[in-house]
Amino acid sequence: MKDFAGKVAFITGGASGAGFGQAKVFSEAGCKIVIADIRQDHLDEAMAYFKDKKAEVHAIKLDITDRQAYAKAADEVEKVFGSPPQLLFNTAGVNAFGPAEASTFEDYDWVMGVCLGGVVNGMVTFVPRMIKAGKGGHIATTASMGGLMGTSGCAPYSAAKAAVINLMESYYQALRPYGIGVSCLCPGGIRTNIGESSYTRPKHLAKTGYNTNEKTIAFMHKHYSYGIDPVELAHIFKKGIENDVLYVVPMPEPEKMMRGIVERMVNFTTPEGMKRQEEANKKRMEEMIKHPNPMMEGAAEAGWGRAREDLTWVKNKGPQT
């Protein structure tokens, strides 16, 4: 998709962070924007930003895990803008950190419910409507670098994002005949509010195996402040969408980065490769000790990435990634 003028863009998580960056950039490109978000305070702040702008922006309070509410939101878009979106941004996501072995069913159900289930709900709700409207379009989903490898400190998130990456390739193939493109963004750190994810965790999924409290949240705010600016990221995503690129990897050398990921998986397929990978991991750890990453400063003191304190059977040594 190259021409964005007059297109309807539906952005989940559009009221904060990466999604809000997309709302700003694509409204400037001429899109009519729907920001859909579970947090009313985020929606209010985002709408206040757009108040003096020329852009047409509509806000919908939506929990993307609620399928009935999602269908209602889709009806509302058609009522307000006269058509289903031509651009669907599956951006909303949450994260939680703690040892994989301490993860509860609720940790999986919440994180995977939003990060994977929410994307599935977006696709099943909107894809048939987009096809029937016959205007083509583009699906732009935000996954994560975290989905390209397993991570012992956020297993549910990594699993959800890996599934999303795979899902986007399936839809990329399926939607070509309809003139609907698919792009999947795989960023590293972004300067956002994702550290506050636990504020929207539903009560019935509250039981966690992870240490999550105001200290860990404060650490995460600092941690993510080192990330890429959401508006800069949205410009990179826009270029990827314009060029119809499936995997948009916002790194200085995306091909080198992806080759490294593939090489790691290749290493994991033979005993010799396993040794090579262990050596590489050891070197990486030594480098990290020699040159500590400022992003991780204060992690141990905050208890970030640890298991809940009463889980004494977990080797509770602190953040592992």
Centroid of chain to Cα 67 = 19
Q: Distance (Å, rounded) from C-alpha 33 to C-alpha 123?
A: 18
Q: Which segments of 91-190 does DSSP mark as H helices, in order? A: 105-112, 118-133, 155-175
Q: Distance (Å, rounded) from C-alpha 22 to C-alpha 34?
A: 11
Among 8, 9, 34, 38, binds ligand NAD (CB under 6 A): 38
Q: Distance (Å, rounded) from C-alpha 78 to C-alpha 84?
A: 5
Active site residues: 157
Token pair 């119809």 is found at: 244
Letters for 143-182 (x = contact with ligand NAD by CB under 6 A, - = none) are -x--------------------------------------
Q: Which two tokens stand for residue 113?
A: 């419910």
Q: Is 183 in the site for ligand NAD (CB under 6 A)?
A: no
Span 17-36, contacts to ligand NAD by CB under 6 A? 17-19
- For the stretch 63-66, contacts whose Cβ atoms lie closer than 8 Å and that sit 24 or more positions apart, written own/partner, are 63/38, 64/12, 64/36, 64/38, 64/92, 64/114, 64/117, 64/118, 64/121, 64/122, 65/113, 65/114, 65/117, 65/118, 65/121
Determine the length of the chain: 321
Q: Least distance from C-beta 61 to ligand NAD, angstroms?
A: 9
Residue 102 or 190 having the CB closest to ligand NAD:
190
Q: Is 193 in the site for ligand NAD (CB under 6 A)?
A: yes
Q: Least distance from C-beta 193 to ligand NAD, angstroms?
A: 4
The number of beta carbons lying within 10 Å of the beta carbon of residue 13 is 30
Residue 130 or 186 having the CB closest to ligand NAD:
186
Q: Three-state SS for 248?
A: strand
Among 10, 37, 85, 106, binds ligand NAD (CB under 6 A): 37
Residue 120 or 280 having the CB closest to ligand NAD:
120
Q: Is 189 in the site for ligand NAD (CB under 6 A)?
A: yes
Among 64, 73, 234, 299, binds ligand NAD (CB under 6 A): 64
Q: Is 92 in the site for ligand NAD (CB under 6 A)?
A: yes
Among 15, 168, 302, 307, binds ligand NAD (CB under 6 A): 15
Q: Could you list the residues that contact ligand NAD (CB under 6 A)?
A: 12-13, 15-19, 37-39, 42, 62-65, 91-95, 114, 118, 142, 144, 187, 189-190, 192-194, 200, 224, 227
